[in-house]
């Protein structure tokens, strides 16, 4: 049997798009997920299971008992209050209930389980905050280069990152550099407890985090490999390694 991969969903308070497209009414909240995540997990041999923001966190813990791995998807900015900062004028819309659930979930998964976990974009930032780290609320404001590169299609690559030798990322790809896409304006600042940086952009922005002391697959990346799986074997290889580890643990639930 194929492994079940839970994927966290974006949560939206905005019902305007639903009214505009005739699929809902004002005042509704929505769970949203780009199809790229579903496609990527299916492509590499997993069965996607969408994880909403639950009203009762206990339902999430029950759902975890049926899963073999969890992928943290991208989305809104993390509320700066979660890492003890005052919101910048550059900080975008936040979703406090999603922040609460995912920070708690990330901490539980990496500290109390061996379940394979993969963190993408916002997920990379959530992991860092969950383990006591902080974020740059806006990279240009913090004097880095612009990393929200919209002039290049998201399904293509636009800059290089340098990969740390002997890291999990290096073991999986067997290379020192990687071309990635880039769709973020925030990034890791102070690194959380137990985390190590395994890749950086040319301007020093953290592009990947790992947990070398944790038993079980755990990788966090700042780019979007799920958008690159059809055209770039290296990015497909990362997600395939995650799903393969989930498949190995399938019988241990």
* Residue 121 is among the residues annotated as catalytic for this protein: yes
Q: Which of 136, 147, 185, 224 is catalytic?
A: 224
Q: Which of 102, 207, 210, 226 is catalytic?
A: 226
CATH code for the domain in which residue 165 is found: 3.40.50.880
Global pTM reads 0.96
* Residue 111 is among the residues annotated as catalytic for this protein: no
User: How far, rounded to the nearest angstrom, does the alpha carbon of residue 170 sit from its chain's CA centroid?
Assistant: 19
- What range defines the domain where residue 95 resides? 4-252
Q: For residue 15, is pLDDT > 90?
A: no
* Coil, helix or strand at residue 98: helix
Q: Which of 102, 121, 159, 235 is catalytic?
A: 121
The number of domains in the chain is 1
* Residue 226 is among the residues annotated as catalytic for this protein: yes
The pLDDT tens digits for 73-116 are 999 999 999 999 999 999 999 999 999 999 999 999 999 999 99
User: pLDDT higher for 8 or 13?
Assistant: 8
The pLDDT tens digits for 105-156 are 999 999 999 999 999 999 999 999 999 999 999 999 999 999 999 999 999 9
Rounded-to-10 torsion of CA 133, 137, 141, 146 = 90
């Amino acid at each position: 049997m194929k492994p079940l991969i839970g994927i966290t969903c974006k949560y939206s308070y905005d019902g305007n798009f639903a009214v505009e497209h005739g699929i809902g009414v004002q005042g509704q909240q929505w769970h949203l997920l780009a199809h790229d995540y579903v496609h990527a997990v299916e492509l590499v041999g997993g069965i996607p299971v969408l994880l909403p923001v639950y009203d009762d966190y206990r339902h999430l813990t029950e759902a975890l008992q049926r899963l073999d791995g969890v992928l943290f998807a991208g989305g809104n900015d993390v509320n700066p209050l979660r890492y003890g900062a005052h919101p910048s004028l550059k900080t975008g819309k936040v979703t406090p209930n999603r922040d609460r659930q995912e920070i708690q979930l990330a901490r539980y998964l990496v500290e109390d389980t061996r379940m394979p976990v993969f963190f993408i974009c916002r997920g990379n930032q959530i992991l860092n905050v969950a383990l006591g780290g902080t974020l740059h609320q806006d990279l240009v404001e913090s004097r880095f280069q612009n990393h929200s590169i919209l002039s290049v299609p998201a399904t293509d690559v636009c800059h290089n990152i340098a990969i740390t030798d002997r890291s999990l990322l290096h073991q999986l790809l067997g290379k020192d550099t990687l071309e990635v896409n880039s769709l973020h304006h925030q990034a890791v600042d102070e690194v959380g407890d137990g985390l190590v940086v395994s890749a950086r952009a040319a301007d020093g922005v953290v592009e990947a985090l790992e947990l070398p002391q944790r038993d079980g697959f755990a990788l966090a990346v700042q780019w979007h490999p799920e958008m690159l799986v059809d055209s770039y074997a290296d990015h497909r290889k990362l997600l395939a390694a995650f799903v393969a580890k989930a498949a190995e643990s399938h019988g241990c639930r």
